Structure formats: structure tokens, C-alpha cells
Amino acid sequence: MNKILALLAAALALGGLPALAADPLADITVAANAVPGFAGFSAERGARFFRTPGGSWSCSTCHSDDPRRAGRHAVTGKPIEPMAPAVNPRRLTDPARVEKWFRRNCKDVLSRECTAQEKGDVITYLRSMGR
Amino acid sequence: MPASRSHERAKARPAWIPGLLIAAALAIPAAPAAVLADGGRRSPDDPAWREECGSCHVAYPPRLLPAQSWRRIMATLDRHFDADASLEPGRARGIEAFLVANARQASSESALRITGTGWFRREHDEVAGLFSSAAVGNAANCGACHPQAEQGRFNEHEIRLPGGNKR
């Protein structure tokens, strides 16, 4: 019985830890590195991208000009929690979640997916913000 | 809650007479307001549904639309009211099953919008003027007037109109 519990605990630890530690920026960096001429991510470029409208929307339309504040969905009015990890530590911690929303929101804003460069810039920008 | 359980039992065992009686009682007041009267009813829950369908707006409870509507919505998530709400297919199938199992009964409607259904318009004709106000924005923003919308509760005694007018 104890042996089984120990095995279970070990399996949980093995399965659980990497998931907790996974950084959404890791895969994005791998993808960006594969593009010739890649020279790193920039918080400044990310900040500009965040506020630049594609069609009628920019990221800041729903996520607020100041990502340390709550935003509001442009169509439904639903409040959206702040995007800056400094004030909302759950942000940018789950790679699958981050990928899903980049895919959807970039299509809504730009009518295309974001490039790895753009995604990395935005994450770098959001993480650069203090409280 | 007990009523809907007996209803299910009635469906499983049609020969069971008390069950049939309850089913008949449920079917007669088929006026939409009565079917939807919220009186303390708890909304069925599903974590995947709450997470995926509650991120851009409140997770609209399954009982507000008939099964056919939910099927149409789930089949077109990549162009969902001008938003991309696409989901990984396995996850979408699970959510669709939950929505269909708890959908509104006894309706031939297949509207894509709750706010486009007949019962919604009738319930809200008194407040329709508020929908486009700054505080509400749009009729689909249920939470602006139904503070318990996140919990699936729309009881007429729990309404708080923006501007502080309690009802």
C-alpha cells in the first residue's frame, strides 16, 4: 500500500513539476530563433505592438492601455483581469492557454496569426512592467 | 431541481404513471417565463464549459437555448459572432455534450442568440432602453443587471439595474 502511494507521489511529482515550470516564452523563443535575422525580443516593440490597431481593434482595446489595470471586452463589456504578471501573477504561466489566446486574439485584431517575434515582444513587454 | 430529476426519470420509464403526471405538469405551463422562472434553481456546471465559454462573456447557462442552437454555435466557433472562439475538437465535443444535455426543452427554435429569442425579448421589453446605455453596453452583458449571472442565476428578485435602481 505504502509502496503504491510512494509510486503515485513520484508520478505526480514527475508529471506535475515540468508543467508548473513551463514558460510560454520557451517555445516562442525556439520558433523565433529559426527565423533568419532574429535579434532578440524587445519590450519597447511589444509596447508599440500592443497599442497599434490592426483593423478596428488593438490588443489594448480589450486589455487596457495600461496592462496593470483591468480591461474590458470590446463587444461584450465583460471585465478582463490585468495582463501584467506583476499585478496578476497567473498571467503568462500556462503555455497552452497563452498559445490559444494569441491565436484567437491575433486573428481578431490582425486577421492573421502573430509571428513568434510579435508574441515574444508582447510577453517581454508585459513582464517588464513593475507594479 | 427535484422537478427536473423526476422529469428525467419520466423520460427513462415512460410507463411510470406518477412520472408521466409530473412530466405533464411540467409541459403545461410551457409559457417561456414559467419554464425559465429561476426561483432558486441551481444551474448545472461543467469546468471546461465554465472556463472556455465564460472568458469573453458570462458562461450563458445551457437552459437558455435549445439543443439545436447549441449545436449550431459549437459548429461555428471559429467565426463566433465575429470573434474567433475556436477550440481543440476533443474539448469542444465535451462541452457540446454538456450544453445539449442541459438545453432548453420544448422549443423548435434554433436562434444563435439568447437575446434574439422570443422569451428574452418579452422578459426584457421594459428595460430594452437600457441595453445600449454606457453602463450596460449591450443586451448580452447579462451581468450588468443580473449580478448572479456568473452563477447562472437570473431570478427576478436578484436584479440590480445600473444606476442603483433595485427591483
pLDDT, one tens digit per residue, over A64-123 is: 999 999 999 998 888 899 999 999 999 999 999 999 999 999 999 999 999 999 999 999
What are the percentages of helix, strand and coil residues in chain B, rounded to 5? Answer: 50, 5, 45
- Give the Cα separation of A102 and A109 in Å (integer): 10
Number of Cβ pairs < 8 A linking chain A and chain B: 34
Residue A98: C-alpha distances to residues A71, A103, A119, B6 (Å): 17, 9, 10, 43
Among the ranges given (A106-115, B39-48, B66-75), the one the predictor scored with the smallest mean pLDDT: B39-48
Residues ≥6 apart with Cβ < 8 Å to B32: B117, B118, B119, B122, B123
Name the residue among B84, B85, B138 with its Cβ closest to that of A77. Answer: B138
In A, minimum Cα distance to B83 occurs at A108
Under DSSP, the state recorded for A79 is E
Structural domains in chain A plus CATH codes: 20-128 (1.10.760.10)
What pLDDT, on a 0 to 100 scale, did the predictor assign at position B111?
83
Predicted ipTM beyond 0.90? no
Q: How many Cβ atoms sit within 10 Å of the Cβ of residue B57?
A: 20
Is the model more confident about B61 or about B26? Answer: B61
Contact flag A103-B144 (C-beta cutoff 8 Å): no
> Backbone phi, then psi, for A30, in 5-degree steps?
-60, -45
**Collapsing DSSP states into helix, strand and coil, what is residue B17?**
helix
Give the pLDDT confidence of B71-129 residue by residue, as tens digits: 999 999 999 998 999 999 999 999 999 999 999 986 677 788 999 888 899 999 999 99
Please report, for chain B, the start and end positions of each structural domain, with discontinuous segments joined by +: 45-112, 115-167
Nearest chain A Cα distance for residue B140, angstroms = 7
Tell me the pTM: 0.81
- Which residues from chain B sit within 8 angstroms of residue A107, using beta carbons? 84
pLDDT score at A21: 59
